Amino acid sequence: MEEKLLYTIKEYAKIMGVNEITVRRWIKKGEVKILRKGKVIRINKDELKASE
């Protein structure tokens, strides 16, 4: 199984063991960097290491 490079907010929240609202709060505070294309938001896998 290939490791994903980008995660949705929902996937990231599940991996981190928090609610999606918490992830959105982190994004708003600048604690988690995102990649955005239009309305689509993705979080790079490198943010997992930075958040641990």
pLDDT (tens, 9 = 90+) of the chain, 52 residues, equals 567 899 999 999 999 999 999 999 999 999 999 999 999 999 999 988 666 6
Q: What are phi and psi of 30, to 5 degrees?
A: 85, 10
The range of the structural domain enclosing residue 22 comes to: 6-51
Count the domains in the chain: 1
- Assigned domain for 36 exists: yes
pLDDT of the residue at 4: 85
For residue 15, give every residue at least 6 positions away whose Cβ sits within 8 Å of its Cβ, in sequence order, or none.
7, 48
Give this prediction's pTM.
Answer: 0.84
Of 14, 50, 7, 16, the residue nearest 32 (C-alpha): 50
pLDDT of the residue at 1: 58
- Assigned domain for 38 exists: yes
pLDDT of the residue at 37: 95
Tally Cβ neighbours within 10 Å of residue 8.
15
Question: Please, what sign has the CA dihedral across residues 13, 19, 21, 26?
Answer: negative
